[in-house]
Each structure stands twice: as structure tokens, then as C-alpha cells.
Amino acid sequence: MQFVRRFWNRWLTWRASRKAPRPPVVVPDFTACLPSISRDVSSQGVRFYSLCGTCGDRMESSATLCEDCARKRTGFSL
């Protein structure tokens, strides 16, 4: 009889663990790692601009920092 009780208890715990809520799957947000891009839509098409990583200023060239922020960071001025 003890064997049947143990077996029954093990089966109940196994069944409860199968019905237990699973922890949520964490999906990382990769948009934070992407470079900041601005876009203008006109009748002639879409034009994309890079944004400065420090001040958010719009730049014509593909870079991570604008000239002012790059100078401030390096301490180098022309």
C-alpha cells in the first residue's frame, strides 16, 4: 500500500509540475542597439539621416557623433 501511495504522490507532483505556469520567455529589445535614424518623406522619395548619439542633432553623413560633440569628447579643436 505504501508503494501505491508513493507512486500516486509522485504522479500528482509530476502532473502539477506539467500544469504549472511556465516562466515567460524574455525577448531582448534590439531596437536600443540600432543606430538612431531620422527620415524625411517627400514626393520625390524618402531621405534618411543619421542622428548624433549624444545630442540627437541630424547629420548629412553617416557618423555616430556630430562634429561639435566629437570635438567636446576628444578635446581637440581646429
Per-residue pLDDT tens for 23-71? 777 777 665 665 566 677 778 887 777 788 778 777 777 677 788 888 8
pTM of the predicted model, to two decimals? 0.39
CA distances from 72 to 5, 7, 23, 61 (A): 75, 72, 46, 19
Contact indicator for 64, 53 with CB cutoff of 8 Å: yes
Q: What is the pLDDT of residue 29?
A: 67
Answer whether residue 20 shows pLDDT above 60: yes
- Quick one: pLDDT at residue 65? 79
Contact (CB, 8 A) for 36 and 48: no
Contact 38/58 with Cβ under 8 angstroms?
yes
